[in-house]
């Protein structure tokens, strides 16, 4: 009988909660048509029509060392790559399918190079593995809510044996957990309708994964999707409960808590533009200052942020993403003390930004160009030893006497009438 152990759990989750910031990478055959990773489904494309991308895929510029460096320089601590996405194409060399990078012009195991590169940068290694598979013939086609062939009567399910599919993907997960050394994150994706939990053979799968990779941190999508907290939150963990909640494209308004109101471990995954996979015309990139604020918001609510990039057909991360990451990295270099190892501050949310905290240090992130005495709500007057600008270390006087008299109980940081903001974004006290 599976028994959840809080101490083991907390220990396993330590690095992950300190890290706070990771890189998500969506890359596969769908990077060639450049219409997002769901195109086979949204366009109800047959496997034959999709075959041209397999024939063409050559990964000519694939250099995961570059990806890893970029992540490292942006201040990220871990990376998660799509080993297999819903289209069923494997970036890794699976012996259970022909539908893999090894059999394309790329001609090699791309996951192997990736794990080596990420480790060499001192980052934690994560792999994303889809639960859906639009390539496998035993996965339901006709009538499934999502499958590309859902409306095609010729793709009936009479001769499909779902248990064969489950056996297949379990074996692939076994390969992933066996052939690439220690994995730090395993990101299953995703449950929907009645396709969840034991339908995926989840207890058996989890037992295998936990045996092969005792340290690995797993998301909650064997029983949930981008919505839904999972059984750990309900206080009744299944044997296949995830280690963290994985809100998608949303930063939960109040963070994520379990039934007892205790904070849960969570990670918001966020795209830079509006697609996970490379998209040729989607140029709606969020500016770096916005993403920095989002990261701070996550940390202030006790969560991580997994920020996505979608490399192009050749394996190059889009220029826009590179530029954004380098701006984030500049900020992180000076301000990472307010991110790593930080969490919920338990002080009122200020008008001007967010607060993160590590032990007895409070980081007041100012999202706007604040002037004069700035209230640091929630701090006790006589307990504040000093106030410093984090990026530069310069001293900031504690409240002046004229402020005192009107608001005797509030601690103010006196930025003066014309504070010099080092980068005009998220100024951290």
Name the site residues for ligand JFZ (rule: CB under 6 A): 37-38, 189-190, 192, 225-226, 248, 269, 276
The neighbouring-strand residues paired with 267 are: 304
Do residues 240 and 222 lie in contact, with contact meaning Cβ atoms separated by under 8 Å? yes
The span from the CA of 367 to the CA of 424, in Å, is: 8
Cα–Cα separations (whole angstroms), residue 208 to 136, 160, 185:
22, 25, 15
Q: Residues near 154 by Cβ (< 8 Å), separated by ≥ 6?
A: none
Q: Residues near 425 by Cβ (< 8 Å), separated by ≥ 6?
A: 288, 289, 292, 293, 331, 367
Smallest separation (angstroms) from ligand JFZ to the CB of 199: 15
Smallest separation (angstroms) from ligand JFZ to the CB of 398: 45
Smallest separation (angstroms) from ligand JFZ to the CB of 406: 49
Question: Which is nearer to ligand JFZ, 277 or 350 (by Cβ)?
Answer: 277
Smallest separation (angstroms) from ligand JFZ to the CB of 304: 14
Question: Which is nearer to ligand JFZ, 226 or 289 (by Cβ)?
Answer: 226
Closest CA to 35 of 22, 26, 23: 26
Question: Which is nearer to ligand JFZ, 4 or 192 (by Cβ)?
Answer: 192
Question: Which is nearer to ligand JFZ, 276 or 363 (by Cβ)?
Answer: 276
Do residues 39 and 30 lie in contact, with contact meaning Cβ atoms separated by under 8 Å? yes
The span from the CA of 309 to the CA of 128, in Å, is: 14
Smallest separation (angstroms) from ligand JFZ to the CB of 225: 4
Helix 288-300 × helix 319-335 angle, to 10°: 50
Helix 319-335 × helix 64-73 angle, to 10°: 40
The residue count of the chain comes to 429
Smallest separation (angstroms) from ligand JFZ to the CB of 348: 33
Question: Which is nearer to ligand JFZ, 278 or 364 (by Cβ)?
Answer: 278
Do residues 96 and 103 lie in contact, with contact meaning Cβ atoms separated by under 8 Å? no
The span from the CA of 213 to the CA of 260, in Å, is: 30
Residue with smallest beta-carbon separation from ligand JFZ? 225
Question: Which is nearer to ligand JFZ, 131 or 295 (by Cβ)?
Answer: 131
Question: Which is nearer to ligand JFZ, 184 or 189 (by Cβ)?
Answer: 189
Smallest separation (angstroms) from ligand JFZ to the CB of 132: 8
């Amino acid at each position: 009988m599976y028994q959840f152990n809080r101490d083991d759990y907390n220990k396993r989750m330590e690095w992950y909660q300190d890290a706070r910031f990771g890189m998500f990478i969506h890359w596969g055959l769908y990077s060639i048509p450049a219409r997002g990773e769901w195109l086979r489904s949204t366009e109800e494309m047959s496997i034959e029509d999709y075959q041209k991308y397999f024939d063409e895929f050559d990964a000519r510029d694939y250099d995961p060392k570059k990806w890893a460096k970029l992540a490292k320089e942006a201040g990220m601590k871990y990376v998660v790559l799509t080993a297999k996405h819903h289209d069923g194409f494997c970036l890794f060399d699976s012996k259970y399918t022909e539908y893999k990078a090894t059999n394309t012009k790329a001609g090699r195991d791309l996951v192997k190079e990736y794990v080596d590169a990420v480790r060499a940068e001192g980052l934690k290694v994560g792999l994303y593995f889809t639960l859906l598979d639009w390539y496998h013939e035993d996965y339901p086609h006709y009538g499934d809510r999502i499958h590309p062939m859902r409306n095609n009567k010729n793709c009936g399910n009479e001769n499909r044996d779902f248990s064969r599919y489950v056996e297949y993907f379990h074996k692939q997960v076994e390969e992933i957990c066996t052939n690439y050394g220690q994995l730090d994150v395993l990101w299953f994706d995703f449950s929907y309708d009645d396709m969840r939990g034991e339908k995926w053979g989840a207890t058996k799968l989890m037992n295998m994964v936990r045996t092969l990779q005792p340290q690995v941190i797993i998301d909650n999508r064997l029983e949930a999707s981008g919505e839904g907290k999972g059984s750990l939150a309900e206080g009744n963990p299944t044997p296949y409960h995830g280690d963290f909640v994985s809100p998608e494209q949303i930063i939960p308004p109040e963070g994520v808590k379990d039934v007892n109101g205790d904070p849960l471990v969570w990670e918001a995954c966020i795209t830079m533009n509006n697609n996970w996979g490379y998209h040729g015309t989607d140029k709606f990139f969020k500016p770096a200052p916005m993403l920095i604020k989002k990261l701070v918001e996550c940390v202030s609510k006790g969560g991580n942020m997994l920020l996505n990039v979608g490399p192009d057909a050749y394996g190059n991360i889009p220029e826009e993403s590179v530029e954004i990451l380098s701006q984030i990295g500049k900020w992180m270099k000076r301000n990472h003390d307010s991110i790593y190892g930080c969490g919920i501050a338990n002080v009122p949310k200020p008008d001007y930004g967010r607060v993160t905290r590590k032990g007895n240090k409070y980081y007041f992130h100012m999202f706007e160009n604040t002037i004069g005495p700035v209230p640091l709500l929630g701090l006790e007057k006589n307990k504040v030893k000093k106030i410093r600008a984090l990026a530069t270390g310069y001293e900031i006087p504690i409240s002046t006497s004229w402020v005192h008299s009107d608001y005797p109980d509030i601690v103010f940081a006196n930025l003066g009438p014309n504070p010099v903001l080092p980068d005009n974004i998220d100024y951290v006290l």
